[in-house]
């Protein structure tokens, strides 16, 4: 019944997942804007990809909103937390996404700065569709995990 480390992890994950949901929605909107010709792909990729200056700025402003990398880092972060808390089931559920993130980052186009999206290829219909689908899938995953963490939190703290 105590406020254990695991409970803390769940609570943290809960909050962070809310942020991730926000990211996912933003991601979907961003690609929709691209598709509907709202934005120039160079600008869009610049916002999607964190550049060094932007990372600095973000630290200051504490808005991690525009970044892909932060999403990966946040997810990785609470995976580590679950690992430390020995919440194996939760960790197991998150592993596929973790692995996907690693794979996704490894297979990114040749770029000199961090980031996933290449303005010259992003307008390809396949890539665009893939990114949109990715956004929706992640949104679904985060939503489900949000409730799962809520349940986990209640469950762990009531034990």
Partner 1 sequence: MSTAGVNSQNGTGTGQTYANGPTQAPASLHQVPGIGSGMTHQPAYNPLQAKAPTPPGLYPYQPVPSFNSSPSAQPLLSSPLVGRPPSHTPPLSASPGPRLPHGHATPPPLAAAAAVSSSSYYPSSQHSMAPTWQFNTVPQLPGSVAPANVPFRGTVGNHVNPPASLPAATSSAPFSSTPPPLNNPQPPGPGIPPTSMHGYTQPGLAPSPGNFMSPHTYPHGRPGFGPPPTGPPPAMKPTPPPPGAPVTSATPPPPKADGALTGNGPHAPNNFNHVDNKMAGQTQPGPPNRHVGHYPSLPPGYQNTSHAGPPMHPPQPYTQPTQPYQQSLSGPGPAQLSPSLAAMSLQSSTPEALRVVNLLQERNLLPPTAVSAPTPCLPQDLQKINCNPEVFRSTLTSIPQSQSLLNKAKMPLGLLLHPFKDLSQLPVVTSSTIVRCRSCRTYINPFVSFLDQRRWKCNLCYRVNDVPEEFMYNPVSRSYGEPHKRPEVQNATIEFIAPSEYMLRPPQPAVYLFVLDVSHNAVETGYLTVFCQSLLENINALPGDSRTKVGFITFDSTIHFYNLQEGLSQPQMLIVSDIEEIFLPTPDSLLVNLNECKELVQDLLKSLPNLFLKTMETQSALGSALQAAFKLLSPTGGRMSVFQTQLPNLGMGALQSREDPNQRASAKDIQHLSPATDFYKKLALDCSGQQVAVDLFLLSAQYCDLASLGCISRYSAGSVYHYPSYHQQHNPAQVERFQKDLKRYLTRKIGFEAVMRIRCTKGLSIHTFHGNFFVRSTDLLSLPNVNPDAGFAVQMSIEENLDDMQVVSFQAALLYTSSKGERRIRVHTLCLPVVSSLSDIFAGADVQAITGLLACMAVDRSVTASLSDARDAMTNAVIDSLSSYRHSVLTIQQPGLLAPACLRLFPLYILALLKQRAFRTGTSTRLDDRVFAMYQLKYQPLAYSVLLIHPALYRVDDLTDEGALNISERTIPQPRLLQLSVEKLSREGAFLMDAGTVMYLWIGRNCHSNFLTQVLGVPSCSSVPENLYLLPELDTAESQRTRAFVGWLRDQRPFFPSLHIIKDESQLKPHFMQNMIEDRTESALSYYEFLLHLQQQISK
What totals of helices (H) and strands (E) does the chain contain, helices first? Answer: 6, 0
Q: Note whether 114 binds partner 1 by CB under 8 A.
A: no
| Segment 123 to 142, residues that bind partner 1, using CB under 8 A | 123-126
By CB under 8 A, residue 103 contacts partner 1 = no
The residue among 37 and 53 lying less far from partner 1, judged by its C-beta, is 37
Residue 34 CA: distances (Å) to CA of 28, 73, 129 = 10, 25, 11
Shortest distance, position 117 Cβ to partner 1, whole Å: 12
**Count of residues touching partner 1 (by CB under 8 A):** 17
CB of 66 to partner 1, least distance (A): 19
Q: How far apart are the first and last CA of the chain?
A: 5
Residue 42 in the binding site for partner 1 (CB under 8 A): yes
Report d(CA 96, CA 79) in Å as an integer: 11
């Amino acid at each position: 019944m105590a406020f254990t480390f695991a409970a803390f992890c769940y609570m943290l994950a809960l909050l962070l997942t809310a942020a991730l949901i926000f990211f996912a929605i933003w991601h979907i909107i961003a690609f929709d804007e691209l598709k509907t010709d709202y934005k120039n792909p160079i600008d869009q990729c610049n916002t999607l990809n964190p550049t060094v200056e932007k990372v600095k700025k973000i630290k200051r402003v504490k808005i991690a909103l525009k970044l892909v990398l932060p999403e990966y880092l946040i997810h990785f972060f609470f995976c580590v937390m679950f690992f430390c808390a020995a919440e194996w089931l939760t960790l197991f559920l998150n592993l596929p996404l973790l692995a996907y993130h690693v794979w996704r980052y490894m297979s990114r186009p040749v770029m000199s700065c961090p980031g996933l999206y290449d303005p010259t290829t992003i307008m390809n219909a396949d890539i665009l569709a893939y990114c949109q689908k990715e956004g929706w899938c992640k949104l679904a995953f985060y939503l489900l995990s949000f409730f799962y963490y809520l349940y986990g939190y209640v469950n762990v703290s009531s034990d």
